[in-house]
Structure 1
Amino acid sequence: MAAFNIKEINALDHLYKINLINSCSGFKSANLIATKSKDGIENVAVFSSVTHIGSNPPLLGFFCRPTTVTRNTYTNLKETGVYTINPIHESILQEAHHTSAKYPSDISEFEMTSLASEYKRDCIAPFVKEAPIQMEMKYIEEYVIKANDTILVIGEIQNLYIQDHLLAKDGFIDLEKANIAAINGLDGYTIPKLKTRLDYQRPKV
């Protein structure tokens, strides 16, 4: 078994290190976060850090890297207070991954890919039309992670759209039916298969 202590990790080649540490925590969610700037420019970018915070109220969080360079997603959502989260599925993997390219703020990733934007109700941020699940988010608060200057952004779901065939009677969303992707490290994508659902567990007596 390969072994690395903290001194060895810190001394690793940069690319090797980020691949190693981004992979060791397991599969991560694969989502496109879409925003619109105050000047009306649409933005969409892939994020692998969206995570459940709580159900009541319905909160999701995601991490932004340090804002020492331009972060269009973060800037837009702070200016407007609105963004959308759209899970990536198998048929848009290549186009979704390309949104990680660092385009200037006046260029929309929707225009640089085949992804299409769409609008629902009075949400000012675009949704990804191809996404089988779409979430309208309201910015709530943020926390700076002092250890590395990343930012945890927390938002509340305002509207949730789910294709009918994915939604079970008990509220469970069957992501396998939509071929929803997960991310392994920085650039590895997989399409998970649902093996089973287990009962709520209680202590043995």
Structure 2
Amino acid sequence: MSEIAIKTVDDLKNLDRFYRANFINSMVGSKQASLIGTVGKNSCTNLSLFSSTTHLGSNPPLIALFSRPATKEPKQTLNNIISTGFFTINHVNEGILVRSHSCSFKFLDHESEFDSCALTEEYHDGITAPFVKESFVSMGLEYRRHFPIEENGVIMIIGEVKLVRYNKQYIQSNGELNFERSKSIAVAGNNTYYGLNKIKTLDYIDRSQKKILTKSVQDESNKTSKEISKEV
């Protein structure tokens, strides 16, 4: 039988800071790994690996991403987004995993991650930021605003989706992206990556179908209880 552990806030404070970062980050769950494409005032393109993109709404289509607090080293991604007004979000897939992870290296301002990590720039009308050609799912966004999170200094950046680039075969009949087909990669902690396999698509249950909901919940509960009993 699995052993349940408990850590209090005091326990967390006493952990090694790298272990603590991985521990808390991964407890939130796996997140889509994405390359954020920008270009600087010096015309040098930039790619940064992010796992903190969040959907804020679909009308208008708004996406947020979170940048770590400012340090002695300038945040190229944040500065580029503010100065040019555009950025792209490109899904990492199995075929570019190592190259995407390599974009985390601290390259100099005049060094492009596209060149250094063997990835290809691609451009589309109306978006000045570069897309990653090898990515199967990408979005071009226009910068709207940013602000610091008071509690820890993390910067929240909000962009509006202006263009979506994708393979038609990856979209399900209900409009959702099939991550298994697109071979999109999720990340937990700072550097552990996972594949995404589709389990099933469940129907939306409205108020008139409460009996269906009750039966579905009970069936799964009974099945899980039997599986737990076998483990004991």
- The TM-score normalised by the length of structure 1 is 0.96
What does 1:21-32 align with in structure 2 at a 5 Å threshold? 21-32=24-35
**In the TM superposition, what is the alpha-carbon distance from 1:178 to its structure 2 partner?**
1.2
What is the alpha-carbon distance in structure 2 between the residues aligned to residue 164 and residue 30 of structure 1?
A: 21
User: What amino acid maps onto 1:45 in structure 2?
Assistant: S
C-alpha contact (below 8 Å) 2:32/2:184 kept by paired residues: no
Give 1:39 deviation, angstroms: 1.4
2:128 is paired with a residue whose SS is coil
The counterpart of 2:131, out of the listed 127, 130, 150, is 127
Aligned residues: CA RMSD: 1.2
For residue 171 of structure 1, report the CA deviation from its aligned partner: 1.8
Between structures 1 and 2, the one with greater helix share = 2
Contact residue 61 and residue 160 of structure 2 kept, 8 A: yes
Quote the residue 2:170 is aligned against.
Answer: 166
Paired residue type of 1:142: H
Q: Is the 8 A contact 2:35 2:89 kept in 1?
A: yes
- Give the count of matched residue pairs: 205
> 1:197 Cα shift?
0.7
Could you say which residue in structure 2 is the equivalent of 1:99? 103
Match of 2:119 in 1: 115
Cα deviation per residue 1:24-50 (whole Å; 9 max; x = unaligned)? Answer: 111111100000001100000110000
Query: Once the 2 structures are TM-superposed, how far is the Cα of residue 106 of structure 1 from its aligned partner?
Result: 1.4
Residue 6 (str. 1) matches residue 9 (str. 2):
yes
Among candidates 121, 145, 149, match of residue 149 of structure 2: 145
Give the deviation of 1:198 after TM superposition: 0.9
Indicate if the aligned counterparts of 2:127 and 2:141 stay in contact, CA closer than 8 A.
no
The secondary structure found in structure 1 opposite 2:87 is: strand
**One-letter identity of the residue aligned with 1:88:** V
Hey, what's the Cα distance between the residues in 1 that align with 2:170 and 2:32?
A: 17
Distance 2:128 2:183 in 1: 28
What do the CA deviations read for 1:1-54 (whole angstroms, capped 9, x no partner)? 222111111111111111111111111111000000011000001100001110
1:37 aligns with 2:40: yes
Picking from 52, 55, 58, the partner of 1:52 is 55
TM-score (normalizing by structure 2): 0.85
**Structure 1: stretches of 5+ with no match in the other structure:** none
**Distance in 2, Cα, partners of 1:198 & 1:96:** 32
SS of match in other structure, 2:115: helix
After superposition, what is the alpha-carbon deviation per residue over 1:82-139, rounded to whole angstroms, capped at 9, x for unaligned? 0000011011110001111111221111111111111112321100000111111001
CA distance in 2, matches of 1:53, 1:192: 22
Letter in 2 for 1:90: E
Letter in 1 for 2:162: Q
